[in-house]
Amino acid sequence: MIIHSFLECKEYNFAGKTIIPFCTFATAAYETLNDITNATPNSEHLAGLGTRGSQNSYRQVVESWLDRIGISDIVSGINGVTVNKTNDSKAYTLSGMMAADIDKAERGVYIVGGKKVMKR
């Protein structure tokens, strides 16, 4: 549902952008991949990938997929994340940019205190 909320947010304009659907799933990947494609009709879409879970064994599957869609040379991985636990109310966009204090932020999805928060 977080992806649906993100794609429905009017402040993001995906027209003319290249969308590469990717998801993990428990039941049917094609539903989520199709939902992403259908929510961005004015975008170019590369072949998506759905995987069941997040095990290390999927590394080769993902690397092969990145090669197949021609972007393996421009993708870099995240090797680790450090969480700074604070009690401040600063809101960060999903791309990691500081937005504002959550009370002053516009509607949307943010990271606050290390957790995803939807401001309505």
Q: Mean pLDDT of residues grouped by 10 in the chain (120 residues)?
A: 78 88 74 87 91 69 87 68 59 79 83 81
Q: How far is CA 62 from CA 1, 34, 75, 93, 120, in A?
A: 23, 19, 11, 25, 34
pLDDT value for 27: 64
Q: Strands across the sheet with 98-101, in order? A: 98-101, 90-92, 108-112, 115-119
pLDDT value for 47: 92
pLDDT value for 42: 92
pLDDT value for 45: 93
pLDDT value for 119: 83
This prediction's pTM: 0.53
pLDDT value for 31: 81
pLDDT value for 84: 52
pLDDT value for 26: 66
